[in-house]
Amino acid sequence: MLSLLAIVALQIAPVPPSQPAPTEALATSARYPDSAYFLRREIAAALDAKDPARLAAAANRLASLGYLPRASTIAQIAQRLPPADAEALRRRFLANRRVRSAARQIAAIGPEQALVEGVAWDAAHRRLFATAVLRRALLMSDGAQWRKVPDLDVGGLSGIAIDAPRHLLWLSSTSTTQTPNRLTAFRGLVALDLDTLREVRRVAVTNEGSPFDLAVGPDGTVYASESQRGLVYRLGPNDQALSILVRRGALTSPQGLVPAADGKRLYVADYAMGVMVVNLADGSVAPLPSAAGTMLDGVDGLVGYRGDLIAIQNGTSPRRILRLVLDGAGTTILRAEVLESEAAGWGEPTLGVIRDDSLLYVDGQGPRYDLNGKLIGKAPLAPTVIRALPLGGKKTR
């Protein structure tokens, strides 16, 4: 029989693909105070230990970060607290149930292009690109219908980024349990010429890894994250092979990446820990300090915008899109602005890209697939929607 710790941990999922053991989570909840994931683990442990003081402290902190647990979890917590305290906490949690829809649909990709993940905007040619994991395909639209870019021998495509100065389109090609015919799938990075869409470079991962998200720095260096083993790769413009920038153990489940403008740091969204900073000189990792007072874990897509970060949270409750306003040096989060929250019609927001002063992001169908890429349920699969979210121009401090 599952312990109460295990039961509550499951109830207050989602959890990252690679999750730390409960003992590690308890040891690091103080180190990552803006992580709802670690606080949920602490609540589960406090319930298991029948420790109401510890439970109340963790639950109130979770409510202050904006988290909304399931009703059954709120009831479990309330049973262990004095009635007045339980009612006050319940009201705090329910106040976090907020819906905000601000984006508009600009494109739709047919359901036959299963599990669309990433999107890129080619300003020079006025084209949208999207990556399809289960179809092992790169999709393109120039304002008409979507079509597959031909002659690409790749795996499941996830991350995508354009290096405009060098006229390159970079793709991360993966092999996971969801990838069809995974043994034939290429694992690594692929670059296409942006004018011809012909492959010009291919760099394999040699350690049985599989990169997912990627970003390109100002100098053309490509950074890629591997969520399953907690790695971050680096490929310099003149490098012949990928190197490991962040080794296993420093991150739990890295997702989106944003190179800092100074060329010295890399922002990385870790699904459990929150927004982290990697020192590019030595690969060391530390949390990005925050005065925002909101949960920063559960971020999938992370995009740079006018000195700030745009975070797409699909691993929290509620799911949100945030503008993380940074200080002038880019070393601290001053505040978080909620741009969207549980927007009407959302499937699963994943990755995004900046076009002018809007965020274009994928509203995908991830929840309809299991870990083996099989469709869940008998309901017809909906199209994948690309939405445009206005960002409001330059920051105000």
The model's pLDDT over 272-313, given as tens digits with 9 standing for 90+, comes to 999 999 999 999 999 999 999 999 999 999 999 999 999 999
Helix (H, G, I), strand (E, B) or coil at 55: helix
pLDDT grade for 203, boundaries at 50, 70 and 90: very high
Q: Is the pLDDT of residue 105 over 70?
A: yes
| Average pLDDT of span 240-256 | 94
| Mean pLDDT of the region 343-356 | 95
Instruction: Give the pLDDT band (50/70/90) at residue 397.
Output: low
Environment class of residue 126 by beta-carbon count within 10 Å: exposed (0-12), middle (13-18) or buried (19+)? exposed
The β-bridge relationship of strands 308-313 and 320-326 is antiparallel
Res. 396 pLDDT band, cuts 50 70 90: low
Give the percent of the chain with pLDDT over 90: 77
Checking if the pLDDT of 54 tops 70, the result is yes
Four-residue CA torsion sign, 77, 82, 87, 93:
negative
Q: How are strands ordered across the β-sheet holding 274-279?
A: 254-259, 265-270, 274-279, 285-287
Are both 305 and 330 inside the same structural domain? yes
Please check the confidence at residue 149 and state whether its pLDDT lies above 60.
yes
- pLDDT exceeds 90 at position 179: no
Whether 144 shows a pLDDT value over 80: the answer reads no
Of 291-295, 318-322, 345-349, which range is least confident?
Answer: 345-349
Judge whether 225 lies within some domain: yes
Same domain, 23 and 116: no
Provide the pLDDT confidence category of residue 358 given band limits of 50, 70 and 90.
very high
Q: Which residues contact 54 (CB under 8 A, 6 or more apart)?
A: 42, 45, 46
For 254-283, b where at least 16 C-beta lie within 10 A, e where not — what string?
bbbbbbbeeeebbbbbbbbbbbbbbebeeb
- Among the residues of the chain, which ranges form H helices? 4-11, 22-28, 36-49, 52-64, 71-78, 83-94
* Domain C-terminal end among 27, 62, 94: 94
80 with 117, same domain: the answer is no
How confident is the model over 34-54, as a mean pLDDT? 94
Give how many domains the chain has, as a whole number. Answer: 2
Average pLDDT score, the chain: 90
Residue 396: inside a domain? no
- The pLDDT value recorded for residue 182 is 75
Cβ(193)–Cβ(167) under 8 Å? yes
Which pTM does this prediction carry?
A: 0.91
Give me the pLDDT at residue 10, please.
Answer: 28
Question: What does the pLDDT average to over 69-97?
Answer: 96
Q: What is the mean pLDDT of residues 137-151?
A: 92
Residue at 283 is within a domain: yes
Both 146 and 194 in one domain: the answer is yes
pLDDT at 23 exceeding the cut of 60: no
> Amino acid letter at 319?
R
H or E segment to which residue 168 belongs: strand 168-174
Distance CA 117, CA 122 (A): 17
Percent of the chain with pLDDT over 70: 92
Q: Residues 258, 125: one domain?
A: yes
Task: Answer yes or no: do 221 and 270 share one domain.
Answer: yes
Answer yes or no: are the C-beta atoms of 340 and 373 closer than 8 Å.
Answer: no
The residue that leads in pLDDT, 180 or 103, is 103
At residue 211, what is the residue type?
A: P
What pLDDT does 259 receive?
A: 98
Q: CA-CA distance, 142 to 336, in Å (whole number)?
A: 34
Regarding whether 129 and 66 lie in a shared domain, the answer is no
Q: Is the pLDDT of residue 368 over 90?
A: no
pLDDT of 109 > 50? The answer is yes
Same-domain pairing of 86 and 122: no
In a domain, 395, yes or no: no
